[in-house]
Structure 1
Amino acid sequence: MSWATRVRRIRTGAEKRFPVLTELTSRLVSGNLLDSGTRLAAQAFLAAVPLLFAVAAFAPSSVRDQLRESLRAMFGLRGAADQELQQVLNGGDAGGLRETTGIVGALVALISATSFSRAMARVCERAWALPKAGTRIAAWRWTVWLLALVLVVFLQAPIRDGFGAGAWLGLPLYFLLSTGVWLWTQHLLLVKRVPWLPLLPGALLAGTASTVLGITAHLYMPTALDRALAEYGSLGLVLTLLSWMIVVCAALTFAFTIGAVLAQEPPLDRYLGTDRE
């Protein structure tokens, strides 16, 4: 018996015994997940930049300080990178920045930021092989999701610190919050077309990925940001942050897709109410 024949028999046997592997492999190969994650990261970056300037222009100093602390907690910012962030949020003339930005500009920034919400909704729909939801039904959900995500970002510093108790409490709190956010995200952006329970595997995978990447960011990002800033200036800072966003968004895209497949295939389908028979 040739080696190729033996491999085909092993694969056929595995597919019969574990049909979820066939579907999972097919989705991961044909779903262009990395492309979807890259597009999602680009939309996230394009949404974050104008919102950051809008906060710097219109938010009170206490809100700007809270945002700076949360971004520090998320990326482990220090040194030159932290000074750049502080300059953006507090270094300029607020009155002049308001005149430059303007109320209309801030509203346009918020509306354009919903492109990130639409991209996230499309990732969820592709994970579950669902058609695109109608704009009238989904439009308000995009705005609500975006505002909720901004609130979660603002709360990162106290949550990761366990509200003063330390990392021993902050880490499980962050995992639970991440899982809850991604569970709610799927339910909201899928326009309730999928019940809560089948969404749980994807939420757990996304929460795990977010937690692991959150820990990794503290180990990798400070050095990477300082090196990029020293070698390439602000452009290096932008490229490093965008690269990290691609990693995060790709991880979320894979998590939602894998979770959807696991929820619809044996053995979990019997317990999650997605059994097609």
Structure 2
Amino acid sequence: MRRARRAVSRSTVGRAWRRSSALGLGQRALGFAALGFLTLVPLLIIVSSGDPENGRGFAQWLGEGLGVSRASRQQVEHLFIQPGQALRTTTAFGIAALAVFGLTLGAAVQSGYEKVWDLPPARWWARWRHVVWLTVLTGYLFFSATTTLRDKPLAGGVMASLSALLFLWWSQHMLLGGRIRWRALFPGAMVTVIGLLGLRLFSRLVFSPLIASNTVSFGPVGTVLVVQSWLVGVGVVVFGGALVGRLLCEKLPRRTRTMKRRRRDATS
């Protein structure tokens, strides 16, 4: 049993478990969900209202992002106002509070990435990276909320996956201050995109019936609980994908060296 425990501890699964425990993956995902609900929801409502003719509206965007059925999507749409109304009713104080929460979300994501790569916290003057990241995030969300390729679902899915891959890859490099090479960050971005696709499938199987049942039991609050649970899943995928990407980055060079050594032994 001791040998088995040592083997498991030295394996990739054992290292992933230890590092996820040190990362505090569950707590960070809960923090991401709380800040995401305070930041991403109003931000998406505002940016989708910026182009009311082509924009889908936040409720429709969220329903498609969740991947839920049409009936559950209608329950989500009942929670939010129609496109075009948010810009007329948003106040300066609301925008300022949104900016503060958005910068806090950027700091939380940066802290998670630094923990994944065992890096020390960045200096205080590096806060400008949060501003740049929030600005690019706003543009990315506006692009996602106003770009429609419904007549070509395959092309739309490929474009959404590719844009998410590029944004996540760049986000890691920007928030980490270039302390990790681009090549080492790519596996984490790829795993995160794959995890988001898996979360979409999980949402269709689990969250879609949950929205219907929770709406009957709790009313609109039940739908909010499901959306919040989905944001927790997004947080797990964001930080967990970066962690798995680091493990892959460490595993692949060793696997390559082992294969080269075996080839040399076989030829000799």
Shorter-chain TM-score range: 0.7 to 0.9
Matched residue count:
256
Q: Is the 8 A contact 1:202 1:259 kept in 2?
A: yes
Tell me the CA shift for residue 248 of structure 1. Answer: 1.8
**Which residue of structure 1 lines up, in the alignment, with residue 3 of structure 2?**
9
Q: Distance in 2 between matches of 1:50 and 1:179?
A: 23
Moved more, 220-229 or 74-83: 74-83
SS at match of 2:120: coil
Match of 2:109 among 107, 120, 124: 120
The residue number in structure 1 matching 2:140 is 152
Whole-Å separation in 2 of the counterparts to 1:126 and 1:269: 25
**Structure-2 change in CA distance of 1:75 and 1:151 (3 Å):** farther
Q: Measured at CA, do residues 235 and 262 of structure 1 come closer, stay the same or move farther in structure 2, by a change above 3 Å? A: same
- Fraction of identical pairs, as percent: 24
Structure 1 residues 61, 237: CA separation in 2 closer, same or farther (over 3 Å shift)? same
Give how far 1:47 is off: 1.2
**Which position in structure 1 is the counterpart of 2:197?**
211
How many angstroms does 1:245 deviate by? 1.0
Residue 119 (structure 2) aligned to one of 118, 122, 130? 130
Report the equivalent of 1:196.
Answer: 182
Residue 71 of structure 1 aligns with which residue?
Answer: 62
1:70–1:154 Cα contact (<8 Å) kept: no
RMSD: 3.3
Query: Tell me, which stretches of 5 or more residues in structure 2 are unaligned?
Result: 258-268
TM-score, normalised on structure 2?
0.78
Equivalents in 1 of 2:17, 2:24: separation in Å? 12
Once residues 91 and 201 of structure 1 are traced to their aligned partners in structure 2, the CA distance between those partners, rounded to angstroms, is 37
Give ranges in structure 1 of 5+ residues lacking alignment. 272-277
Shift of the 251–116 alpha-carbon distance from structure 1 to 2, 3 Å rule, reads: same
Give the corresponding residue for 1:182. Answer: 168
Aligned residue number for residue 46 of structure 1: 38
| TM-score, length of structure 1 as denominator length | 0.76
Q: Offset of 1:264 from its aligned partner?
A: 3.2
Distance 1:91 1:14 in 2: 52
Cα pair 2:191 2:242 within 8 Å, conserved: yes
Q: Which residue of 1 aligns with 2:229?
A: 243
